C-alpha cells in the first residue's frame, strides 16, 4: 500500500542479485545456494521534530521481521541514544557470537561431541575515526563449553576453528 510522506527527501536502497542455476544440494558446485532474509527498520521520530538539530533528534527505531517479536533499539548512549535499549553495536556482537555458537553446536552434533552447556562473553573494540565514522577493529569471542565426555575435549576445541570458518556472519565481516 502507498502512503503520502511529507518532507521525504529520498530513498537509498541496495539490491543483491544472485545469478545461477537452481540445483539439488548434491550438485551445489554447479548451482547457486542462497537464502534471502528480510527485515524492516522504522525510525520512531517520537518528538516529531525530525532531524531539526543533531542533539535533539530521536535515536529510537523498531526492527520488524515477519513472524517474530518486534525489537526496539536505539543508538548507543555515547552517541546520544538510550542506554536501556539494544544498539547496533550490541546486535553486531550478538550476531557474531550466536552464529559461531550455532555453527559450533551443529558441528559438535555431527562429530560425536555432546555439548551440555555453552556460554560466550563477546567483546569488541570500536575504533572511531575523526570524520565521525569508525569500525570494529577487534572482536573476541570467549566461549565456555562443557562436554559430556572428557575424551572429546580435543575434538571440541578443534571444532571452534571450523565453526569460525563456516559461520555465515563471520564470513561476511572483516573482523
Q: With contact defined as beta carbons under 8 Å apart, do 68 and 39 qualify?
A: no
Give yes or no for residue 2 having a pLDDT over 60: no
Residue-wise pLDDT for 50-101, tens only, equals: 999 999 999 999 999 999 999 999 999 999 999 999 999 999 999 999 999 9
In a 3-state reduction of DSSP, which class is residue 24?
coil
**Whole-number pLDDT of residue 84:** 97
Provide the grid cell at 27: 550438485
Residue 53 and residue 60 in contact, taking contact as beta carbons nearer than 8 Å: no
pLDDT band of 36, cuts 50, 70, 90: confident
Report pLDDT for 18: 58
* pLDDT for residue 166 is more than 90: yes
pLDDT tens track for 70-82: 999 999 999 999 9
Residue 21 has pLDDT above 80, yes or no: no
Q: For residue 23, what pLDDT is reported?
A: 65
Quote the cell numbers at residue 82.
538510550
Residue 175 pairs in a beta bridge with none
User: Average per-residue pLDDT in the chain?
Assistant: 88
7-41 burial: b if 16+ Cβ within 10 Å, else e: eeeeeeeeeeeeeeeeeeeeeeeeeeeeeeeeeee
User: Residue 12: what pLDDT?
Assistant: 58
Q: What is the pLDDT of residues 127-147, one digit of tens each?
A: 999 998 999 999 999 999 999
Q: How far apart are CA 87 and CA 61, in angstroms?
A: 10
pTM score, whole prediction: 0.79
Q: How far is CA 108 from CA 12, 31, 104, in A?
A: 42, 28, 6
Angstrom distance (rounded) from CA 77 to CA 52: 20
Q: Between residues 32 and 128, which one has the greater pLDDT?
A: 128
Amino acid at each position: 500500500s502507498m502512503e503520502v510522506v511529507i518532507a521525504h527527501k529520498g530513498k537509498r536502497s541496495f539490491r543483491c542479485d544472485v545469478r545461477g542455476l537452481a540445483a539439488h544440494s548434491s550438485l551445489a558446485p554447479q548451482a547457486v545456494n542462497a537464502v534471502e532474509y528480510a527485515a524492516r527498520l522504522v525510525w520512531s521520530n517520537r518528538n516529531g521534530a525530525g532531524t531539526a538539530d543533531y542533539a535533539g533528534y530521536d535515536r529510537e527505531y523498531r526492527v520488524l521481521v515477519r513472524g517474530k517479536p518486534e525489537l526496539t533499539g536505539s543508538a548507543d548512549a555515547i552517541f546520544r541514544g538510550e542506554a536501556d535499549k539494544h544498539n547496533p553495536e550490541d546486535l553486531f556482537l550478538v550476531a557474531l557470537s550466536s552464529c559461531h555458537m550455532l555453527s559450533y553446536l551443529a558441528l559438535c552434533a555431527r562429530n560425536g561431541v555432546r555439548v551440555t552447556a555453552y556460554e560466550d562473553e563477546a567483546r569488541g573494540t570500536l575504533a572511531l575515526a575523526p570524520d565521525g565514522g569508525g569500525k570494529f577493529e577487534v572482536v573476541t569471542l570467549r566461549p565456555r563449553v562443557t562436554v559430556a565426555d572428557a575424551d572429546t575435549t580435543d575434538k571440541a576445541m578443534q571444532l571452534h576453528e571450523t565453526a569460525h570458518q563456516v559461520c555465515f556472519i563471520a564470513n561476511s565481516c572483516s573482523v
